[in-house]
Amino acid sequence: MKHHSPSNVRRFGGHQPVTGKRVLIDPSAVVLGDVALADDVSVWPQVSIRGDMHRVRVGARTSVQDGCVLHITHAGPYNPDGWPLEIGSDVTIGHNATLHGCIVGDRVLVGMGATIMDGAVVEDDVVVAAGALVTPGKRLRSGFLYAGSPAREIRELSDREMDYFCYSAGNYVKLKDQHIAALEDD
C-alpha cells in the first residue's frame, strides 16, 4: 500500500491513511487517521472517512458514494474496546449512507441514505435497502434483503440479485478508472 499526501488525505493521532493500487479519492472527500483502503476502492465527492479514534478498513473494489459518512465508535467508559469500521470487498455503499462502528461483509449493497449503527454485523451477500436503519448490535444474515426503520428481514435474495453485487462493484471500478484518467489529464 502507498501513502497519500494531498490535504484531503491526512494524518491524525499518529496514523496516516494508506491505500492500495488504483484507488480514487475525490478531491472533495476527507480521509483521515487510521484508514486503509484496498485496491480499486473508490471514494466519491463529499465523503467523510474518519479513523480518528479507531481503525477503518475498506476492502477491494468497494465504492463509497457521494455524501457517505464512515466513522468508528471510540473506546471509553461505555464501550471499553470501541468499535472499528470494517467493510469487505465488492461492497457498493450508496449515496448519503452512514456506517458507524460496524462490520460489513463482502458483496453487500448498502442503499442510499441507509444507516448501519455501532456493533451491527452485516454478513456477506446482503442488500440493505435505501433508507434502512440497522440498529446497534443487529446481525443481518447472508442472502437476504433488509429494509425499514428499524431494518427487518424482508425476503431471500434471488440469484439475479446475488449476481448483481459483483456486477455493481465491477461497474464502479471501471467508472473509477475513467475518473482517475480524467484527473491525470488535468
For residue 151, give the C-alpha cell: 431494518
Segment 77-106 shows an average pLDDT of 97
The domain segmentation of the chain, as residue ranges, is 2-185
pLDDT tens, position by position, 139-163:
999 999 999 999 999 999 999 999 9
pLDDT tens, position by position, 84-96:
999 999 999 999 9
Q: In the structure, what pLDDT confidence band is assigned to residue 183 with cuts at 50, 70 and 90?
A: confident
Given this model, what pLDDT does residue 5 score? 53
Whole-model pTM?
0.94
Check: CATH 2.40.100.10 for 2-185?
no
Contact 111, 130 (CB under 8 A): yes
Q: In the structure, what pLDDT confidence band is assigned to residue 107 with cuts at 50, 70 and 90?
A: very high
